Amino acid sequence: MENCPDSMRQEDVARLAIGLMVLLLPYAGAFTVIPLAAVFFWDRESRLLSATLGMLLLLRPALSVTHLELPVYIVAISFVASTFSPFASKRFDTLTGSIIYLMTTVALGYPLATMASWGSLAEAKVLFLAILGGLSGAFLNHVSKERDFTVPFGSCMVMWLFSFDYPLPESGRILMISLFALVLGVGAYYAKAADSDAVLAETFICLLVILFSGPGWFALLLAFYFLGGGFTRYGYAYKRKLGIAQSKGGVRGYKNVFSNSLVPLAMAVCYGIYRSDLFVLAFIGAVATANGDTLASEIGQTSRTKPRMITTMEVTDAGVDGGVTPLGEVAALAGSIIIGLLAAAAGMSGGYGLLAGTVAGFIGTNFDSLLGATLQRKGHLTNNGVNLIATLFGAVVGAFFWGILKII
């Protein structure tokens, strides 16, 4: 036990030394693996981190034989996200630590990435990627058991995914959007609607949806978050008495956020790239499905009428996967209409958006119940998996309306 402080100090020194190697990247490039190898043999506890960063450095020249390129400035931010940021945040609680992690990554990653690119990148792009690296790094640092691999590799892949050329707003606006997203997430945390990991997930989604498609699009997701959180508490005492209430008092985790929001996020990003109305109606259909399903579940479970299995119409117990009630069906329709109305009010697609949201949301919600009664009950899918597939189905139904419009 007496050696623990010394070993801890050696590991901290090793990790900070690895972080400082980011200064070599503009000059040494892939040859930075040489000092990384020295640390690999010197400190046993940081070997996986050294190996992962070394792999990223060697991946760059390996990709040179293809049309792909892994920019060195992205690797530079990954160095920061996996060394300095965890060191700065480890003494704080989860939410505060995650915010400090994000701030450290941006504060150090921004100038170091600029240096690694020799100042050739636009300020807005470097800032945008540094924020993405900080959010993904902070998230992976908390949820992953193999942080020394998932943080550098995962944050690098997320930044690389969004490193293509795209017209970004000025740096000040990116900062304001990021702060707005973070404040919303923190507000949800203190309102006991989301845990600390869900805060990062919501901030990530908010930033990307607004940047790629605009605030009106995020307003639909925000409405879903508010309605979902509010109706989770609807009849909560009764649902808890039946043993079917949401765990943790209805506090949502990152799995719930991602399972309901990944498809809408993909549609929003695709719209930003291709500017096709197909993705507008698909986005509305996906969000309407998520909202309709949440309201159907949270309100339908309070029904005094016994639910029936959607596959056989046999009476079943409340809370059983695949069970539906008349009250739940009305709630599903209402939740779908709300999203359609908001889409029309936001000027996204007018009456067609209202129609697409209503139909896609209602059908998607019942498809969710069908999956629950079949694949989920057999253990082939979790509830989050069902949500993800159902929102994808809702997006397909929404896109179907686009196809009809093209024919008309």
Above 60 in pLDDT, residue 1? no
Q: Quick check: 340 and 330 in contact, CB under 8 A?
A: no
Q: pLDDT by residue (tens digit) across 69-83?
A: 999 999 999 999 999
pLDDT in tens, 16-35: 999 999 999 999 999 999 99
| SS3 call for 282 | helix
Say yes or no to pLDDT of 57 above 80.
Answer: yes
Check residue 29 and report its DSSP letter.
Answer: G
Highest mean pLDDT, choosing among 102-106, 234-238, 240-244 = 102-106
User: pLDDT by residue (tens digit) across 138-190?
Assistant: 999 999 999 999 999 999 999 999 998 888 999 999 999 999 999 999 999 99
Among 32-41, 158-167, 302-311, 350-359, which range has the highest average pLDDT?
32-41
User: What is the domain count for the chain?
Assistant: 1
Report whether pLDDT(85) > 50. yes
Tell whether 22 is covered by a domain.
no
Measured over the CA atoms of residue 13, residue 18, residue 24 and residue 28, the dihedral's sign is: positive
Share of the chain above pLDDT 70, in %: 94
Residues 6+ apart with CB under 8 A from 254: 139, 143, 195, 197, 198, 200, 201
Nearest CA to 212 out of 138, 159, 270, 164 is that of 270
* Start-to-end C-alpha separation, the chain: 77
What pLDDT sits at residue 65?
A: 84
- Asked whether residue 139 is domain-assigned, the answer is no
| 205's tokens | 């989604």
Q: Are 357 and 340 in contact (CB under 8 A)?
A: yes
Query: How confident is residue 2, by pLDDT bands cut at 50, 70 and 90?
Result: very low
> Mean of the pLDDT values across residues 51-59?
97
User: Residue 175: how many CA atoms within 13 Å on its side-chain side?
Assistant: 11
Amino acid of residue 214: G
> What range defines the domain where residue 242 resides?
212-408
- Residue 271 within any structural domain of the chain: yes
Let me know if residue 81 belongs to a domain: no
- In angstroms, how far apart are the furthest CA atoms of the chain? 78
Paired tokens of 272: 């930003």
Given pLDDT bands bounded at 50, 70 and 90, which one contains residue 193?
A: confident
One-character DSSP codes across 78-112: HHHHHTHHHHHHTTS-HHHHHHHHHHHHHHHHHHH
Residue 270 placed within a domain = yes
Within a domain: residue 334? Answer: yes
Using CA atoms, how far apart are residues 222 and 375, in angstroms rounded to an integer?
Answer: 29
Domain for residue 219, yes or no? yes
In a domain, 287, yes or no: yes
Whether residue 311 contacts residue 358, with contact meaning beta carbons closer than 8 Å, is answered with no
For residue 203, the tally of other CB atoms under 10 A from its CB is 28
Statement: residue 250 has pLDDT above 70: no
Give the residue-averaged pLDDT of 216-220.
95
Q: Across all residues in the chain, what is the average pLDDT? A: 92
